[in-house]
Chain A
Amino acid sequence: MDALCIAGFLGSGKTTILLEAARALTDGGARVAVIENEIGEVGVDGGYVREQGLPVRELFGGCICCTLQVGLVETLRSVRDSYGPDWVVIEPTGLAAPGDILGLVADTIEGLDLVRVLTVVDAERWSMLLEVVEPLITSQLESADVVAVNKADAVDDQQLAAVLAAVRRLSGDALVLPVSAATGAGMPALLRAMS
């Protein structure tokens, strides 16, 4: 079983990209399961993803912190044992850093071969988010394998170039790709990069 973790701030377009990624994997013949690890606006994304025909497990926590990690481990095991997916796509809360989750998953889930991280960045709100939640955004980029700079169509070329440069500076060796999940621009390249 391989895992794809799709990180990014709330409202950056993670769920739309998750659906595209899951669909591409399914079209390639893989069995795919989705785990939604949500805080806030509870259940919205999970319900929507389920409507798209994908098996979904949702995680909730009595506390807004640690119990979510615990639930993720248990849910991953449960999904692995009950559904036997080739890929499990994890959408952690927009307040999570994938590095926190990766360590936990790698250490505790047997039978997990590969964990890839896709971080979704909101080009339109980049400057604002960086000014307000810079540590969170940085932590979401640090462990990314691929970064999708989403809503690339909503900013002009100069702005996009500035966002891409800043993202590349913060995300180390990650592949950084501009996309528009809304129009589909750049999505084929992103899906190829992830697979």
Chain B
Amino acid sequence: MIAPSSDPRWERLRKAVALEPVDKVPVCLEGVAWCARVTGMTLEEFLSDATKATKANIDAFRLVGNADCANNPSFASSSLNFLWMTGVKRPGYELGPDEPWQVEESGLMTPEDYDRIIEMGWPAFQAEFLNERIRPGVLDEFLEFLGKGPSVVEQAKAADMPFLSMGIIIQPFEPLCGGRTFTQFILDLYRMPDKVEQAMQVMFPGMNDAAIAGCAALGSPGVWIGGWRSASRMLAQPLWDRFVWPYIKELTLQVDAAGLIPILHFDSDWTRDLPRLLELPAGRCVLSLDSMTDIRKAKEILGDHMCIMGDVPPALLSSGTPDQVREHCTRLIRDIGPTGYILQSGCDIPVDAPLENVKAMADAAEAAAG
């Protein structure tokens, strides 16, 4: 959670989450690769060290000038291996030094692995899977990145850059879907739903305990709860009700109980199931949208219940003009804010977004505040 603060930026963020009136809609920057590109750091260098990634975030935050916070202060590509159980092509290794990293979903997990998860438990299976099927040493890389958490926090604090989250947690659907590939995974849900559910029930207890405890220990205000392939757009209602929602709900309650803000980072279209979010604690969660969910419908349904964050379309930030960005953001602030709203890009700021467009986003919030 965010404590009351004399810093107006923290105070805005606290009030936005608590659905209290704000003097200005807070602006959050989320764009790891963009931070590197806009500050002249190659993506290879950005990923080489958590300290460098944090420096790029800080420098980009300063370039924009009037944003209130960054979403995550650092980043490592090994986190994608860990979250999705997929390979990742990296700049400087499988790609050119400044090419954006690419998730490589190639079905490294087999149907027999459900039984192995049930027998071994998730932590042992995951460790073996990461090192043997994705890349030897990838788990150590990720743990090394996590170990730098305290210095990342200190770096951000020293630079006076507020941030919202130091971690990403997930429900079992996402790594199983990534490991199997979406196509194969939905076949599994059709052919062997009970086996998949059994594996999920083995995975889930304790799956995110260390990440939640780590974020709390680091003083992170919140934790991301990621939703990508488990979106309402993807799955038939009965399957979503069985394989997605119970885990998201429980995870959100766990994060809230730990005193952290659950930041529901939901990519793709979740419009169908927005009413279900009313089951989550009021005035304590953030719903972060990527421009595919109907954000105005989200405001209508959830506006009195949870803070909404987003959702300036990435394509607009990349290809639009500053005037177009400013106009779009002004409409968002009018329709979704000012109370209970954090202005942000829909998912990441694209790597090639001009600085002027991101500045226009932040300027729109200033202008709307008068």
Contacts and interface: CB of A to CB of B under 8 A. Distances in A.
Interface string A62-99: 11111101100110000000000000000000110100
Nearest to B345: A66
Contacts of A9: 183
Given A62-B33, A65-B290, A66-B350, A40 B319 contact: no
A11 B288 CA distance: 31
Interface string B96-111: 0000111111110000
- The DSSP consensus for interface residues of chain A is helix
A131 interface: yes
A66 B291 contact: yes
B183 A66 contact: no
A173 interface: no
A184 B283 CA distance: 58
Contact of B234 (A40, A66, A135): A135
Nearest to B235: A133
A129 B267 CA distance: 22
A94 B183 contact: yes
A114 interface: no
B189 interface: yes
Nearest to B320: A108
Given A40-B183, A104-B315, A131-B190, A67 B100 contact: yes
B236 interface: yes
A69 B190 contact: no
A134 B186 CA distance: 11
Interface in B292-321: 292, 313-315, 318-320
B287 interface: no
Contacts of B103: 39, 61-64
B233 interface: yes
Contacts of B106: 40-42
Band of interface residues on B = 35 or more
B102 A42 contact: yes
B100 A62 contact: yes
B327 to A, nearest CB: 13
B351 interface: yes
B366 interface: no
Interface string A40-67: 1110000000000000000011111111
B82 interface: no
A11 B183 contact: yes
A44 to B, nearest CB: 9
Contacts of A61: 100, 102-103
Contacts of B234: 95, 133, 135-136
Contacts of B347: 63, 65-67
Contacts of B236: 130-135
B8 to A, nearest CB: 30
Contacts of B319: 70, 73-74, 108
Contacts of A104: 313, 315
Contact of B233 (A66, A94, A97): A97
Nearest to B185: A132
B70 to A, nearest CB: 17
Contact of B348 (A66, A97, A100): A66
B182 interface: yes
B272 interface: yes
Contact of A128 (B104, B107, B190): B190
A75 B352 CA distance: 13
Contact of A66 (B181, B232, B346): B346
A67 B235 contact: no
Given A66-B291, A73-B315, A10 B351 contact: no
Nearest to B346: A66
Interface in A100-120: 100, 104, 108
A139 B269 CA distance: 11
A60 B290 CA distance: 18
Given A69-B315, A132-B236, A136-B233, 18 more contacts: A41-B106, A61-B102, A62-B102, A63-B347, A64-B84, A65-B267, A66-B315, A73-B315, A73-B319, A74-B319, A100-B292, A104-B313, A108-B315, A108-B319, A128-B187, A135-B232, A135-B233, A136-B234
Return the 3 tightest CB-CB contacts between A and B, nearest first: A65-B267, A40-B105, A66-B347
